[in-house]
Structure 1
Amino acid sequence: MPHHAIAQLTGSRSHQCDAAATWTSGSTRAYVLLDGIGSSSTVRAWTRQFAEVLACEAAMRTDAEQGLRATHTLAAADRRRLVADGGDKVGAVAVVALIDGDVLQVAWCGDARAYLLSPGQPLRRLTKDHNQRQVALDHGREPASNARNVVTSYLGQLTEYPAIGTDTLLLPGPNDRLLLASDGAYEPLEAAGLDLATYLQGPAEQAATILTTAAIDHADSRADNASALVADLSRVPVRTSRRATATRQR
């Protein structure tokens, strides 16, 4: 049985610009999901590159927040280089979850999300979106119809002090399940009033596949990329430094 699984569907986009990666260093494992801004071969390649960079930076530093901040600096520099060379603008929202023993760290920028499912408990959302919808809600205003699509923090953003969210918690039990999801995976289901936990049963590969398939099925005619990484945290082994990535696409 795998410790984690990644499922990705392209939806109606021209390119799959979500990317996921894992990296293990000693007893620490990082799980990462990025959602690229835009749809092009350049954005796709850039997002895949920086998913691995973020996973490595977080695992090697044993710190999700510092790994994300280091990756933000590298991503901003790379975007400047691409623009100076006449290339496409690039960017991606990101979430990284770092597990070491029974401690889980989460860091994010943008609206990629992390959730935790513990036996007998409701699904717990660990992240808070960085987008205009959340800004409006925080100020007691009704969000505009497109507010969720305007992110306020992302990798590749040319700012010295990015908005980065963090959370650290002790895992409540021996059989906790982590979900990292792009907005194309969670938004159609939440908009339909469905509980994401319903789709997180069974083996990790099955859960990730069922969730992303359901997201596309419930999306409108402009279905976004839908990506989900599902990890059974009780099965994280102690290993030497290495990286691993996996995808399922259609």
Structure 2
Amino acid sequence: MSEAKVREVSRHSGTVQRTSGATRSAGATHPGYKRDQNEDSYWADEQRGIWVVADGLGGHQAGEIASQTVVEEIQRSAATDRHYERALQRAHALLLGDDQNSVNMGSTAVVVAEDGAYFHVYWVGDSRAYLWSPGAGKGELKQLTSDHSYVQMLVDSGAINSSEAASHPNRHVITRCIGGSTNPKLEIDRVSSTWAPGQKLLLCSDGLSAEVDAELIAEVLADNSDNRRAADLLIAAALDAGGKDNITVQVINAPSPAPTSAQKWTSCTTGALRRLLRRFKVSVKILLAIIAVGLIAAFAADLLGQF
């Protein structure tokens, strides 16, 4: 992409919002050319290894409130229990319980959370996560998420192909979101993987994925090691395609140096133990109490045996 396109984005510096202080990742959002309000929200904490993009639904203010509610619950979880599925469930409950809410107020979300050498992706709706891996040509771009949308259902059923889906008139109709319904149960999808050297993750709202094809996304990620520049170029590409929706992106580098096999094994083992302890809520005090009870019982039995 040309330098002119980067300068075009800079001319919209009053409406482009960017993250600051990050080293491994960069994020940016733009309202696009057709919307007065930016209903997307995003947030990152590299120290805790957590990134989120949320795309609000419901029109003026309602969508903005919905997406910000998602971000706030992820922030709360990052600082406490790191149960991000529960965080999305809490956001869902909050939006359903909001007196100002209606069936039209909701949000999609895609969340990436690191756990040592692993990363986990959680999503609801049509906000996406892509994994780019270096290789021949422009590398390999793999979509990790599957849209919860009407058009994706048609593709999965074989009724239409991916080319037809890209121009389908109902391609923006989603089948699952946070809030936006009266159903108290929210189903959250998840996929997990290990990092490999040189890889990048891209999180985005459909303002990018619905307007910019995968080949151009891969080209931008391959040609730009600076994530800030890559994020700006992706925003520029969506604007060049018409900017018909709010556009939000986050580009995330694999940790450096890349985890070794031993670190991956340690991370996996440690993570499994941590999850096991959380599941059964076993504390040191309880273990000590059990041991103490056992010793007392054994001592009592020994005394009774003497008589």
Note whether the superposition's TM-score is higher than 0.5: yes
Indicate the SS of the match to 1:123: strand
Structure 1 partner of 2:122: 107
Structure 2 partner of 1:140: 158
Structure 2 partner of 1:195: 216
- Paired with 1:175 and 1:60, the residues of 2 have a C-alpha distance of 30
Structural mapping, 1:1-250, within 5 Å:
2-11=23-32, 12-23=34-45, 28-57=48-77, 60-78=80-98, 81-83=99-101, 89-120=104-135, 121-142=139-160, 145-157=168-180, 158-171=182-195, 173-190=196-213, 194-200=215-221, 201-219=224-242, 223-234=244-255
Indicate the SS of the match to 1:40: coil
- Paired with 2:237 and 2:176, the residues of 1 have a C-alpha distance of 28
Q: Deviations over 1:10-52 (max 9, x none)?
A: 111111111101246xx74211000111331342244223223
User: Are the counterparts in 2 of residues 131 and 147 from structure 1 also a CA contact under 8 Å?
Assistant: no
- Paired with 1:65 and 1:73, the residues of 2 have a C-alpha distance of 12
Indicate the SS of the match to 2:211: helix
By percentage of residues, which structure has more strand?
Answer: 1
Pick the structure with greater CA Rg.
2
User: Are the counterparts in 2 of residues 16 and 39 from structure 1 also a CA contact under 8 Å?
Assistant: no
**Stretch of structure 1 that moved more, 88-97 or 100-109:** 88-97
Query: Which segments of 5 or more consecutive residues in structure 2 lack a partner in the other structure?
Result: 1-21, 258-307
Identical-pair percentage: 29
By percentage of residues, which structure has more helix?
Answer: 2
Q: Deviations over 1:154-204 (max 9, x none)?
A: 111331322321101111x233211101111121112xx733111122211
Distance 1:58 1:134, change over 3 A: farther
User: Superposition RMSD on alpha carbons, in Å?
Assistant: 2.5
Distance 1:105 1:58, change over 3 A: farther
Query: Which segments of 5 or more consecutive residues in structure 1 lack a partner in the other structure?
Result: 237-250
